[in-house]
Amino acid sequence: MSKEYWFARRFPVGDPRNAYAAVHWKGFAVAGIFVAALVIGAIAFAWMAASGYFMQGVVVFSVAAAVGGGWFITVAAAKGDKTRTVADYQKAAPRV
């Protein structure tokens, strides 16, 4: 049984840059959830700051960013292909 990867390296092994990109719809969903967490945190911050609770808004946004970012990094590390690149996945994709 082969492992299903949601993310792949953007640059070849040996390159000092260690970045991942989504190669599966589940990877794109993880990225979307991260963006949604940031947007929800930003909206909460703006609403709380406008209501006079600026520091509480900063805390809410910081927690949302930390939780969303931590979850994104954890999932990308667990479901990331550490040997193949995004270009390898694009070459293997069927042409429609």
pLDDT in tens, 9-21: 998 888 888 889 9
**Residue 1 located in a structural domain:** no
Helix spans in 51-95 (H)? 54-78, 86-92
Whether residue 4 has pLDDT greater than 60: yes
pLDDT surpasses 70 at 1: no
pLDDT in tens, 35-51: 999 999 999 999 999 99
Count how many domains the chain has: 1
Does 15 map to a domain? yes
The two tokens of residue 63 are 């927690």
Query: What pLDDT is attached to residue 95?
Result: 61
Which pLDDT score, from 0 to 100, does residue 30 have? 95
SS3 content of the chain, % helix, strand, coil (to 5): 60, 10, 25
62 belongs to a structural domain: yes
The answer to the question of residue 13 being in a domain is: yes
pTM beyond 0.85: the answer is no
Domain that holds residue 81: 7-92
